[in-house]
Amino acid sequence: MSGSDRASGGGALAGLRVVELANEKCAWAGKLLADMGADVILVEPPSGDVARGYGPFLEDEPGPDRSLHWWHHHTSKRGIVLDLETEPGRAALRKLAAKADILLEAEAPGVLAERGLDHPPLLAANPRLVYCSITPFGRSAPRQDELATDLTVLAAGGPVWMNGYDDHSLPPMRGLGNQGFAMGCHYAVMSILTAILWRGASGEGQHIDVSLHAAANVTTEAGSYVWLVARETVQRQTGRHASQVPSMPSQTRCADGRYVTTGFPPRRPSEYAQLIEWMRRIGLDENFPETVFLQMGAERASIDLSKIGIDDEVTAIFGAGREALCLIAANVSAEEFFEGAQQAGIAVGAILSPEEAFENAHFKARGMQVEVEHPELGRRFRYPGAPYALQKGAWQISRRAPRLGEHTAEVLAEIGR
Amino acid sequence: MTSTNPARPGALGRFRICDFTGQLAGAGATKWLAAFGAEVIRIEDPVTQGLWDILRPMGPFVDERRGPDFGGGFNNHNTEKYGITLNLRTARAKELLTEIVKRSDVVSENFAKGVLERWGFGYEQLRQIKPDIIYVSNCGFGHRGPYSDYKTWGPIVQAMSGLTFLSGRADEEPAGWGYSYMDHTGGMYMAIAILLALVHRERTGEGQWVDMSCTDSGLTLTGTSLLDYTVNGRPARRSGAPDSNHSTSPAMAPHAVYPCRGDDEWIAIACRDDADWGRLAQTIGADWAGDARHAALAGRMAAQEALDAQLADWTRPQEKWALARALQAAGVPAAAVAKPQERIDQDENTRAFGLWPTVTHAKIGQVRVDGLPVHLSKTDWQIERGAPCVGEHTDQVLRELLGLSGEEIAKLHAEGIV
């Protein structure tokens, strides 16, 4: 698909050209823009971006066009090679930036300035440019030069402190999937779209400074605001919210060995009534001594959550609700537990692996499986679908990730060599 | 705030949002828009005092005062918004809402499926009121699909989308996320969806309905694991899947969280390549670190468990901040696992960034909140005003936006409509 075809395509961002300097820290932001129809031109050095060497690989064989990390993060982009260590390479990038709407980069502070490619000269040449920098600590931080990886961003930024197990002799955890980079990329995309809307009114571009460390810091929910408001420190707990006050376990293992999360135990009288009925249906009500408390819950006018631990009856009802869910879980599969509880109006979740979610009928029905053609392999592979279902200007993977230098000649011809 | 005065400052100052969102998954989205100047009008129910949003009365609190205007989390997520009450059980309130929708660019909500439609404000009705309206609904499983009637909270979204599963020790119970990561992130995707729909409307004149589902968004964040499954047939649920503090994409070792001196003190260390390991080994200066079998990545990956144990013995007696500084100085990526007070009150980077602005709330007073992790050079965000109290701006919005007289407004109060 050529550039002009892209520009006439139907995505919400059709007509916008993005120059992305290949870097794992901004790759996800580029993908979010590209899948919405922006013409994203991914610039790599002649040796290729290092992320082409990130596993897992197609058939477990490494190779620059076989990285599944690369495949996932660079869909819908065109790829070109420019050697920014040489003047012709830098000149070509300046030319690209002069005609672009957005420049997206995640180089260490100073790297681009040394090459004359930082935002001051590029914005001077193209005042409509939205130039977005993603760095570990922002462009003006006292410790901006510290080295960072996804793990260190999440450790320094707060999420790791909150994730882990009740047993604090075990290390706190980070979740997989480069979520530390993703957090920064989400804020980058929000910033870029905000700046594009501003440009629509003013005609002016600007520079956006995104800090990964700051992004993690304000993506910690109560961890931050419990300290900001009450100066209390949340403590990690297995599979549930870190809290300044210990809470009851919420994960439990089902008969099939899979885990479920019971979330909030039942809170409404109607939910207690449904719970009793569910236990009766599967023959568990007889051997559950706390049924009497479930009955009390069902018969009350309301159950005040703030009275847990204060009012003995409310505490007992709430505890019995949790116990009942655990007993049911131990007797059914995770899927049966999820369906049974949800049909009783109780919000619970099954802890699915990514592939179990992907193959689940609900996600399939919502179009979360899309096929992407890899013509040189003569194969199509299934990818995850749209994170948001726009009906007009819809999300779409328009092509697989680019091979190294695949569109260099095409793009350089467009900008006039 | 009148519609005849579009010159509000801020990057998004020309947009008005008729906002029904709550909790974090919805309110987080419109917090962003309000911080950039959009006029976000929260519509709440006067009968229940806005308690559909369960965060309104929930702690943390600054003092002993309680009630729907004192929730610390609610204040954090609703800065710079306006708050009005409309009793949508009444026909008159529905007329008023219709007038607000006519003057709005976006209607946003994260109710369970069907709530807004039952009130008579589903997408078909909204577009009749304003043809180019952007309607973004956000619920855990979306408005279509087999689970669309099921309920979620952040932890359930994380469980159902694969994210909980991908956090934990090898072959043990998942550790998951110790907070509602997908309420934050679902809110961000909702903000992105609103902004995308606004960009689309600018170009084409078309409004639309976006049916957001947080579990869809969460699933896309597990993409590399999913491709290993769809391409190579390797499921994430398998014996011997890695500890999530280890790194296989890209392969790095050592790469984990190690104990330090003191109670529950930890450091994260990540050797990106052989050179990082060489520098770490030199800093350690012990025989085991100099072992030639560890010089190349493959050897370190194969010996990872043993290497982790040796490294933990080396880090255990050391103070986490001093060790992190020493490793950074040696050129090895490392970071102390920061507690909230350390990253909020003692971190020069977050302070220099201005990450924790103080807002003024009509009843709570002055209190710090989460800022935004970005700076825009020309149209930066502003967070100065706290969340609205229940109905705080009802009179102002009725007067300035809808042009009602004092007498008419008094009548609405008397009749229980607002």
DSSP codes, B95-123:
HHHHHHHHT-SEEEE-PSTTHHHHTT-SH
Whether A32 and A134 have beta carbons less than 8 Å apart is answered as no
Calculate how close chain A gets to B92, using CA atoms only, in Å: 30
Contact of A176 with chain B, judged by CB distance below 8 Å, is answered with yes
Does A349 contact B208 at a Cβ distance shorter than 8 Å? Answer: no
Calculate how close chain B gets to A417, using CA atoms only, in Å: 30
**Residue B358 sits in the same domain as residue B300:** no
Window 187-216 of B: residues touching A by CB (8 A cutoff) are: 188-193, 195-200, 202-204, 206, 208-213, 215-216
Question: Which residues have CB under 8 Å from B169's CB, separation 6+?
Answer: A165, A170, A173, B175, B243, B244
* pLDDT, tens digit, 9 for 90 and up, residues A169-195: 999 999 999 999 999 999 999 999 999
Task: Identify the band that residue A57 occupies on the pLDDT scale cut at 50, 70 and 90.
Answer: very high
**What length is written for chain B?**
418
**What is the mean predicted confidence (pLDDT) over A105-132?**
97
**What is the mean predicted confidence (pLDDT) over A140-161?**
96
**What is the mean predicted confidence (pLDDT) over A144-150?**
95
DSSP assignment, residue A377? G
The domain of B400 spans 16-219+353-414
Across the A:B interface, residue pairs with CB atoms under 8 Å apart total 529
Q: Which two tokens stand for residue A184?
A: 């920064």
**Residue B202 sits in the same domain as residue B79:** yes
Domain end marker among B287, B303, B336: B336
User: Which residue stretches of chain B have pLDDT < 50?
Assistant: 2-5
pLDDT above 80 (res A9): no
Task: Identify the band that residue A39 occupies on the pLDDT scale cut at 50, 70 and 90.
Answer: very high
**Residue B125 sits in the same domain as residue B24:** yes
Calculate how close chain A gets to B362, using CA atoms only, in Å: 16
Does A165 contact B175 at a Cβ distance shorter than 8 Å? Answer: yes
**Residue B187 sits in the same domain as residue B286:** no
Q: Is the four-CA dihedral A121, A124, A128, A130 of positive or negative sign? A: positive
3-state secondary structure string, B314-333? HHCCCCHHHHHHHHHHHCCC
Domain end marker among B307, B336, B365: B336
Contact of A203 with chain B, judged by CB distance below 8 Å, is answered with no
**Residue B326 sits in the same domain as residue B357:** no
Which pLDDT score is estimated for A3?
36
Window 32-51 of A: residues touching B by CB (8 A cutoff) are: 32, 36, 50-51
Counting the structural domains of chain B, the total is 2
Whether B197 and B207 have beta carbons less than 8 Å apart is answered as yes
Which pLDDT score is estimated for A6?
32
CATH of the domain at B27: 3.40.50.10540
Find, among A299, A345, A344, A296, the residue nearest to A320 by Cα. A296
Q: How far apart are the first and last CA of chain A?
A: 20
Task: Identify the band that residue A83 occupies on the pLDDT scale cut at 50, 70 and 90.
Answer: very high
Alpha helices by DSSP H, listed for B56-164, are 72-77, 91-102, 115-118, 123-129, 154-160
What is the crossing angle of helices A312-331 and A291-299, to 10°? 120
**Residue B367 sits in the same domain as residue B299:** no
- B181, B199, B211 member nearest A12 (Cβ): B199
Task: Identify the band that residue A167 occupies on the pLDDT scale cut at 50, 70 and 90.
Answer: very high
Which pLDDT score is estimated for A417?
58
What whole-number distance in Å separates Cα of residue B117 and Cα of residue B125?
8
Q: Which residues of B touch A253 (CB under 8 A)?
A: 173
Half-sphere exposure (CA, 13 Å, Cβ side) for A38?
27
- Coil, helix or strand at residue A186: helix
Please indicate, yes or no, if residue B168 is contained in any of the structural domains: yes
Which residue, among A8, A101, A194, would best test binding to B if mutated, counting the most B CBs under 10 Å from its CB?
A194
Question: For the structural domain made of A3-219+367-415, what CATH number should be given?
Answer: 3.40.50.10540
ipTM higher than 0.90? yes
**Residue B362 sits in the same domain as residue B329:** no
* pLDDT, tens digit, 9 for 90 and up, residues A251-272: 999 999 999 999 777 888 999 9
DSSP assignment, residue A67? B
Residue A378 identity (one-letter amino acid)? G
**Residue B213 sits in the same domain as residue B255:** no
pLDDT above 90 (res A304): no
**Residue B253 sits in the same domain as residue B110:** no
**Residue B149 sits in the same domain as residue B271:** no
Calculate how close chain B gets to A404, using CA atoms only, in Å: 19
Q: Which two tokens stand for residue A178?
A: 């480069």
Q: Give me the catalytic one of B45, B183, B211, B276.
A: B183
Whether A103 and A117 have beta carbons less than 8 Å apart is answered as no
Contact of B323 with chain A, judged by CB distance below 8 Å, is answered with no
Please indicate, yes or no, if residue B169 is contained in any of the structural domains: yes
Task: Identify the band that residue A306 occupies on the pLDDT scale cut at 50, 70 and 90.
Answer: confident
B45 a catalytic residue: no
**What is the mean predicted confidence (pLDDT) over A376-402?**
97
What whole-number distance in Å separates Cα of residue A376 and Cα of residue B18?
49
* pLDDT, tens digit, 9 for 90 and up, residues A214-224: 999 999 999 99
Please indicate, yes or no, if residue B1 is contained in any of the structural domains: no
Q: Which residues of A touch B247 (CB under 8 A)?
A: 149-151
Helix, strand, coil share (%) of chain B residues, nearest 5: 40, 15, 45
Whether A10 and A37 have beta carbons less than 8 Å apart is answered as yes
Helix, strand, coil share (%) of chain A residues, nearest 5: 45, 15, 45
**What does the mean pLDDT of chain A come to?**
94
DSSP assignment, residue B254? S
What is the crossing angle of helices A334-343 and A312-331, to 10°? 140
What whole-number distance in Å separates Cα of residue A160 and Cα of residue B333?
16
Neighbours of A170 (CB within 10 A): 16
Please indicate, yes or no, if residue B142 is contained in any of the structural domains: yes
**Residue B71 sits in the same domain as residue B158:** yes
Q: Which two tokens stand for residue B128?
A: 């009749």
Element (H, E) at A297: helix A291-299
Angle of CA points A233, A235, A237, to nearest 5°: 160
Which pLDDT score is estimated for B262?
98
Q: How far apart are the first and last CA of chain B?
A: 19
Half-sphere exposure (CA, 13 Å, Cβ side) for B344?
26
**Residue B201 sits in the same domain as residue B104:** yes
Which residue, among A173, A307, A356, would best test binding to B if mutated, counting the most B CBs under 10 Å from its CB?
A173
Burial B95-131 (b: 16+ CB within 10 A, else e): ebbbbbbebbbbbbbbbbbebbbebebbbebbbebbe
Contact of B357 with chain A, judged by CB distance below 8 Å, is answered with no
